[in-house]
Amino acid sequence: MSTAPQQLGPVVAPPPVRGLTPLERPPTFSIVIPTYQAADTVSDSIESALAQEHPASEVIVVDDGSTDGLEEALRPFRGKIELISKENGGGASALNAGTAAASGDFVAILDADDAYDPRRIAALAALGRARPDLDLITTDARFLVAGEAVGSFAANTPFAAQSQRTKIFESCFLGGWPAVRRERLLALGGFDESLRTGYDWDCWIRLLLAGARAGLVAEPFYEYRLNPSSLTASRVSSLWDRVELLEKAASNADLRKGEEANLERAIRTHRSRAVIADARSRAEGETPSRPLSRLAFERGIEPRARIAALLAAAAPSLARRFLPESHSAEQRLAKGGR
């Protein structure tokens, strides 16, 4: 844990580079809110962005082809936000459109059903000023269900201060809401629009492998609002998407010798989780995303995953009893568990 000015609060980050000099003034921030079918929630998000104690340079709302009356929801904010309207192209496409339009040193992400604490940009600005060697800066996030705090992101997914290049293979410890140095993001080519989900994780992997460094203000200044009824019903497909983005990382030219083994272990772990979740869905009478015979002989999986697929194929009733339910940390918290 590094030291930082008192107003920052606790900071988790790699040690500063030798000879680092803090900036004379803090960097600037563009808040980008990708929005799709979020007319009921986006107002709260925008209000939180506009209520920052340290104002952002601009608040950019990207309408990714919504058809739910978003225009009416945005009417009160005319003249206060920049609106980009585009055809539906997915979350990565919306973030890329917002990044292209942004002018701040950093692009700060805010989902259209979440909110910022009024102190968030001030905390990011203080960290960016104290640590100009960081290209990804974020804060912890508070999980909320029906307005009640049920935990925090960092408590469930600890932020990695060391070995960030390989720790990012194990989990997306940055979450989906950091502020990203815009020049580095543009140089990287932005978010991969071919990925349905996990494009944020993929982007952080590429940035860290390209030499970026990340830091966290360990205060929950992001409000991640969990909706139990809408939390990834497609849990199985999202797990397979994680496998895909990690397999993609294996061909990254910035991957160093010796890091391949860490990546392969992560792929094996995430592939095994996907197989077990698929087997569980079959045991519960759902159609698996892949034939169970194929899952049972999936390459590079743990023995427990192979057994799970075989059990689900041969004895679904037993599989229902013995296979664990597949829940993300967010789903467990939404149900009131830790």
Select from 298, 259, 251, 262 the least CA-distant residue to 278.
298
Closest Cα partner for 252 from 200, 211, 195?
Answer: 211
Query: Does position 248 have pLDDT exceeding 50, yes or no?
Result: yes
Region 327-336: mean pLDDT is 49
> Among the listed ranges 54-58, 119-123, 226-230, which one has the minimum average pLDDT value?
226-230
Mean of pLDDT values over 318-327:
67
What's the predicted TM-score (pTM) here? Answer: 0.90
| pLDDT tens figures, 158-184 | 999 999 999 999 999 999 999 999 999
Q: What is the mean pLDDT of the chain?
A: 90
The whole-angstrom separation of Cα 160 and Cα 171 is 10
What was the pLDDT predicted at 338? 36
Can you give the pLDDT at residue 228? Answer: 62
For the chain, the C-alpha Rg in angstroms (whole number) is 21
| pLDDT of res. 280 | 84
pLDDT band at 213 (very low <50, low <70, confident <90, very high): very high
Give per-residue pLDDT as tens, 125-136.
Answer: 999 999 999 999
Residue 5's pLDDT is what?
42
Interatomic CA distance for residues 178 and 135, integer angstroms: 10
Q: Where are the domains of the chain?
A: 6-225, 235-334
CATH architecture type of domain 6-225: Alpha-Beta Complex (3.90)
> Would you state the pLDDT for residue 288?
67
pLDDT at 21 over 90: yes
